[in-house]
Amino acid sequence: MLVQILFYAFATVLMGSALGVILSRNPVHSALYLVLAFFTSAALWLLIEAEFLAIVLVLVYVGAVMVLFLFVVMMLDINVEEVRKGFTRHAWLGWLTVLALVAEIVGVVAVKQLGIDVTKAAVPVAADHSNTAELGKVLYTTYVYPFELAAVVLLVAIVAAIVLTMRKRQGLKLQDVGAQVATRREDRVRLVKMQAERRE
Amino acid sequence: MDFAALWNSLPDYAHSGVFIVAVTLVLVVSVAMLTLWERKLIGWMQLRRGPNRVAIFGLLPGLGQPFADVIKLLIKEVLVPAQSSKFLFRIAPAITLVPAFATWAVMPLAPGFSIANVDAGLLYVLALTSVGVYGVILAGWASNSKYAFLGAMRSAAQIVAYEIAMGFALVGVIMASGSLNLGTIVEKQHGAFLAWNWFWLFPLFIVYFISAVAETNRAPFDVAEGESEIVAGFHVEYSGIAFALFFLAEYANMILVSALISVFFMGGWLSPLDGIVAADSALFQIPLLGTLLNNGLHWLVAKTFFFLCVIIWLRATFPRYRYDQIMRLGWKVLIPVTIIWIAVEGLMVYFKIGPWSA
C-alpha cells in the first residue's frame, strides 16, 4: 500500500517534470526539470529494489552529465523566439513520434493484459540480497566481452573528443610550467651594490 | 517499563528517526563549534588571539561567538535581487545543505552500526556529494549577477574535474576491501595502524584528500568564492540566514569529507591497538581506559577532528590557487596518479603482495 502511494507520488512528479522539460520557456529551467526527472526515476527504481541502477543514475546523469549540460546551457545566449520560429512547421513530426510512442506503450500493456506476457514478473528476493554484487558478477563473467567492448567504444569517444579540441591557436599566451619551475633566482632578480644616496 | 524494553519495542523507522535527529543535531552543533575552532586555530597560527569577546558563563573567551554569529545572521534581512530567479535563489542554499547531511545515513559510526546499512554505500556517497554542486551552480545563476555566475561556472568545472580523481581514488579503496559497503570497508582494514588503507594506497590517499578539499571549495581551492577577484563568488548576493546556510553547508561538508577520509583510508572507528592487542585481552576490560582504547565511535571522531585541523591548517598556510593551476592539478596530475596506482594495486592483488597475500 505504502509502496503504491509512493509510486504514484513519484510518477506524478516525474510526469510533471517531464512536461516541464518541454514546456518551460527558459532552457535552464528545462535542464533543471530534467534533473528532477532523473531524480524521481531513480526513486522509482529504488521502489523496485534496483538500488544499484538508481544510485548510478543519480551519480552519472545528475552528478556529471547534467552539470556539464547546465554549464553549457547557462553559457549560451539562447534567443527563445528564434528557437520557437519553426515550431509549427515541424509539429507533424512531433505528433508522429508521440503517436508511435503511445502505440508502443499501449501494445506492451495490451500484451500483458492478454496473458501472453513474454517477460516474467520479478520474483522478490531476500532482504540481504545484494543486486550490486550480482550485477558485478554477471558483468565480469558472462558479459565480460560486451562490457569491455563498451569500454573501448567510450575510450575511442574520449580520444576523439580530445583530438577535436587539440588545436594550436595562433597568438595564444600559454604558460610553460616546466620553464616556470626551472627558473633560477638569477634569471629574475639582480642584486645591485650601490652607495646610499644622500637626500638633498 | 524500563528504557531498554521501550526502545526495543519501537519499530525500525522510529529507531532510524531517533538516530537521524541525533546525528543531525550533533552535526549542527559541531558546525557551530568548528567555525569557532577554525578562527581560533588560524588565529594561533598567525599569532593572533582569534575571537575572544563573547564568553558564555564567563568561561573560555570566544565560546559564545558562534551563537552570536547565528543570532546576528538570523535577524538580518534576506535580500532577493530584483531580476533574479526567485524560487531557485531561495532553494539553492537548501540544495547545498541536504547532501552534506544525507550522506551520514551510510556512515559506519561504530562497530557494526550505521543508520542505513546500504550495500552500495560508497556509490551513494559519491552520488550525493556530486549533487551538492547544484546548490552552488543554481545560486550563481539565479542571482543574475556576473560575479556570482563566474563563481558558479568555476565551481562546476572544478567539481567535475576533481570528482573523477576522487572516484578513481575510491576505486582503489574498493579493490582493497572488495566491497562497496562502508561498514565492510572499515572492517577490512582490521589490524594495526599500518594495516589501514592509507599505507598501501598512499598516493590514492593523498589524491583523495586533495580532491576532498577541492570538492568542499575550501582554500586553497576556493576560487568559487575568490574574494580578491569575484567578490564572494556564487554567494555574493546572499545575505542573512540564506548566506548562513551556505556557510553551514561548507562546514558540514568539511566534517563530512574528513569523516569519509577517516573511513576510507584511516580505518574509521578502528582503534590503532586493534590487531596488536587481542580483542579479548585484559587491557580492554579496564573500566574507562579499556573502552577508550577499544574500537568505537570516539576513534572516528578523533580521526575526523585530525583531518579537520589539517584542512584548516591548509587554509592558514597556502595562498589561493590560480584557476588554470587548479585545472592542471586536477586533470594532469591527480587523475594520472590515480590511474597508475590502480594499475600498481592490480598487480599487487594479482601477485598477492602485502595485505593481499592472505
Are the C-beta atoms of B215 and B294 separated by less than 8 Å?
A: no
Contact A74 B130 (CB under 8 A): no
Contact by Cβ (8 Å): B103, B112: no
Compute the count of residue pairs across chains A and B with CB atoms less than 8 Å apart: 65
- pLDDT > 90 in chain B, percent: 8
Q: Please tell me the predicted confidence (pLDDT) of residue A102.
A: 92
Question: Does the structure show a pLDDT above 70 at B309?
Answer: yes
Of the candidates B120, B131, B157, the beta carbon closest to that of A132 is on B120
- Per-residue confidence (pLDDT) for residue B198, from 0 to 100: 82
Does residue A136 sit at the B interface (CB-CB below 8 Å)? no
| Residue of chain A minimizing CA distance to B150 | A75
Radius of gyration of chain B (CA): 22
User: Most A CBs within 10 Å: which of B13, B134, B149, as the mutation test of the A interface?
Assistant: B134
Cβ neighbours of B126 in A, within 8 Å? 59, 63
The residues, any chain, with a CB within 8 Å of residue B108's CB and separated by 6 or more, are B114, B182, B183, B185, B186, B263, B268, B269, B300
Cα separation, A75 vs A73, in Å, equals: 5
Distance from the B11 Cα atom to the nearest Cα atom in chain A, whole angstroms: 16
Selection from B291, B297, B308, B261 nearest residue B109 by Cα = B297
- Only one residue has cell 579499556, namely B290
Question: Quick check: A49 pLDDT over 70?
Answer: yes
Nearest-neighbour CA in chain B from A73: distance (Å): 11
Nearest-angstrom CA–CA distance, A14 and A20: 10
CA gap B264, A66 in Å, rounded? 27
Tens-digit pLDDT profile for residues A102-157 = 999 888 888 777 766 566 666 666 666 677 778 888 888 889 999 999 999 999 99
Task: Using CA coordinates, name the residue in chain B closest to A69.
Answer: B156
CA A29 from centroid of its chain's CA atoms: 16
User: Domain map of chain A by residue range?
Assistant: 129-168
Distance from CA of residue A155 to its chain's centroid? 17
Q: Give the one of A51, A64, A130 whose C-beta lies nearest to B130's C-beta.
A: A64
Measured CA to CA, the distance from residue A65 to residue A67 in angstroms comes to 6
- What does the mean pLDDT of chain A come to? 82
- Alpha-carbon span B339 to B171, nearest angstrom: 10
Query: Nine-digit cell at B49?
Result: 588571539
Distance of residue B124 Cα from the nearest chain A Cα, in angstroms: 6
- The string over B236-255, giving b where at least 16 C-beta atoms fall within 10 Å of a residue's C-beta and e elsewhere, is bbbeebbbbbbbbbbbbbbb
Identify the bridge partners of residue B12 per DSSP, sorted by sequence position: none
pLDDT in tens, B41-61: 898 888 888 788 777 766 677
Task: State CA B120 to chain mean position distance.
Answer: 19
Q: Which of B137, B174, B215, B321 to mutate to test the interface with A (most CBs of A within 10 A)?
A: B137
Q: What is the pTM of this model?
A: 0.83
Report for A14-18, A51-55, A109-113, B318-322: range of highest mean pLDDT: A14-18
- Whether residue B105 is predicted with pLDDT greater than 70 in this model: the reply is yes
Residue B343 confidence (pLDDT) above 80: yes
Kindly provide the ipTM of the predicted complex, given to two decimals.
0.79
How far is it, in rounded angstroms, from Cα B55 to Cα B39?
Answer: 15
Residue A178 has pLDDT above 70, yes or no: yes
Q: What is the spatial distance between Cα B161 and Cα B335, in angstroms, rounded to a whole number?
A: 9
Q: Is B244 left (phi over 0), alpha (psi -120 to 50) or beta?
A: alpha
Mutant choice from A52, A57, A59 vs B, greatest count of B C-beta within 10 A: A59
